[in-house]
Chains A and B, each alone.
Chain A
Amino acid sequence: MRLLTHNMLSCNRKGVSNGFPLGIEASKLEVKEVDFNSDFLRHIYPKIEWKAFVDAAKSLGLNDLPEHVDDSMLEDDDFLHSFHHALLEVHLEEGALICPETGRRFPVNRGIPNMLLNEDEV
């Protein structure tokens, strides 16, 4: 699971009012090289919740993303490369996503987050 996916997911358990962003418990990370595509990065950038993204990256030990961003940075190559690396190349292979409100764990196994709810949670 990439941080791109993490940035889109929230806990949707019944009664949870703000299940985003999910905390990350990482027991195995992998870095897989992905072709750099600046058009895609510019396209997806407005859809990213930046604070959640930076915090998630930090929790995985990636500290070179700026806290605050503006559109002009999308022209900066260094910025795009660190954005690309954190967004697409770092994978959470084993671990869990944790609901910030209830602590519900969504296991991540072989890179696939399991977002299915139990019977009493829907």
Chain B
Amino acid sequence: MWYLCYFLHRLLDYRLPEVESLAKLFGCFDGEDGAHHLQWKQPPHHHLDSPFYFVSLPSEEIARSIAHRSLLVKGMFEIWGEGTSYEELQTAIQSYPEERKLPFLGEESTFKIVVDTFGKVLNSQEQSERIESFKFIPFKGRVQLKNPQHKFWAIETDGVALNNGLPPLASKIIFFGRELGGANRSLVTKYELSRRKYLGPTAMDAEVAHLMVNQALVQPGKLVYDPFVGTGSILVAAAHHGALTMGADIDIRVVRDGRGPDCNVWSNFKQYNLCAPVGLIRADNNSPPWRSGLNELFDAIICDPPYGVRAGGRKSGGRKLLKGVINPYIIPDDKRKGHIPSTAPYTLEECIHDLLDVAARLLVMNGRLVFFFPAARNDYLGLCYPKHPCFTLVAASEQILSTKWSRCLLTMEKTAKYTEEVASSARQKHTEFKENHCRLLKEAKERGNLHSLVFPSVDSIDLNAYSNGLLHNELHGEKPDSRAKYRGKYV
């Protein structure tokens, strides 16, 4: 059955992947191994960033569940008719099968009609006129504005063309349909950072944290890990959906101390009456302390790795690495007690390598790794995403931050076992990073921008990265798109 999915006009790239992830969560792909894409259809002459999409889903129940759990679906509808004018719309509604309409028009029922527009505004008189125009539908129920049993929506757009050099977003169309459900946006208000007790400079925005958690298919009883936990804002969103959480951070002040006994990571969970993390540790993702033999433990790993804009990555080894490994660095015994280890800068390239390795080992099969990855816009190379033999890239959602930079939320699914072969090549790469620490850091500095911290230099891409399969620039066989895009509404 096809349903109209009417999206909010924000975080445009995140909208389809969210619905696809939730479709998976609610069992749409059960029995289809490795499937995670739905069938989508757009009205004629609508841009990819238009808020109107038809989606094929197995049942109304699933459509409703997806809509309720989502954050970016304004409404999911069974469409009774569409047209480019009200006359056309009337003809369409009249020819829609009676047996699909009558159950919702009965005498005992309560209903209301909502008039909604995209890219235009109607005053209250115009809205009333629109509602009146549906008199031809044999409504026998009672109008009730608060909590009616059935909500019908008339959604109208004249077509939206902005003077930004992009093709028009939408063309004129009017829909009439029965609402199945819509996003519960009160979550965003409830978890808003401005109400959060303990915050850090890189605390994840509540809406995006909830989107990440949806991408990761978080459900009650799942175990979710964040290796760069910070103030715990991603895990709070996971705990909201009933997950058990674990976090690690290299900065002990953040995980242990916070800003006092009632303002720390624990208090952020207490504030919302959520189950506190089952474990918080201070550890370095570059040399993680997990025992050997521990694998396939977490159902999801969700994180925002430090990529050096607001917080630079650090790893252990500090002064020793900076001096080079040739001269062994020895801490005298009398200074060992109470010694505070120094840390060394962590290039994003190495950080992502470690993250993928840890995730490949510790995720259960089909578990998801969801993380942010920075990207340079308008780069002739286009966007490149990291690649790993254990993972399949499920979705990449770009969020434009400035004319130069954007960040992509990558969703990867573990589709192959973590074999000894994968482990040993990761160990080798780890040693290479360590031995060349000074050179890599110097090179990154010389290249002097974020892009160089993320990607190897152009020459080495040709020689190494593509042939080693470290980077790939394809998603579903298509090149990632660094085209000019609509940006939606950002708050």
Contact = CB atoms under 8 A, between A and B. Distances in A.
Contact of B275 (A35, A112, A117, A118): A35
Given A8-B290, A10-B292, A47 B256 contact: no
Contacts of A88: 278
Contacts of B330: 120
Contacts of B294: 8, 47
Contact of B281 (A5, A21, A47): A5
Contacts of B288: 12
Given A9-B289, A47-B297, A120-B329, A4 B317 contact: no
Contacts, number: 105
B328 interface: yes
Q: Contact residue range for chain B?
A: 35 or more
Nearest to B251: A116
Contact of A119 (B280, B296, B329, B434): B329
Interface in A64-81: none
Q: Contact residue range for chain A?
A: 35 or more
Interface in B335-359: 336, 339, 341-342
B280 A112 contact: yes
A35 to B, nearest CB: 7
Contact of B291 (A19, A109, A112): A19
Contacts of A2: 278-279
Q: Would you call the interface of chain A mostly helix, strand, loop, or mixed? A: loop
A61 B296 CA distance: 30
A111 B280 CA distance: 8
Contacts of A40: 221, 244
Contact of B341 (A9, A20, A112, A117): A117
B256 A112 contact: yes
A8 B246 CA distance: 12
A49 interface: yes
Nearest to B318: A119
Q: Would you call the interface of chain B mostly helix, strand, loop, or mixed? A: loop
Given A39-B221, A120-B320, A120-B330, A113 B292 contact: no
B297 A8 contact: yes
Interface in A49-67: 49
Given A1-B279, A88-B278, A10 B291 contact: yes
B319 A11 contact: no
Contacts of B434: 122
B321 to A, nearest CB: 8
A113 B79 CA distance: 56
A39 B244 CA distance: 12
A102 interface: no
A9 B256 contact: no
A116 B250 contact: yes
A110 B258 CA distance: 11
A27 interface: no
A117 B287 contact: yes
Interface string B459-473: 000000000000000
Interface string B203-234: 00000000000000000010100000000000
14 contacts: A5-B281, A8-B297, A12-B288, A20-B292, A40-B244, A43-B221, A44-B223, A115-B282, A115-B289, A116-B316, A118-B331, A119-B316, A119-B317, A119-B319
Interface of B: 221, 223, 244, 246, 250, 252, 255-257, 275, 278-284, 287-294, 296-297, 316-321, 328-331, 336, 339, 341-342, 434
Given A112-B281, A115-B289, A120-B320, 7 more contacts: A9-B281, A18-B292, A39-B221, A112-B255, A114-B256, A118-B331, A120-B329
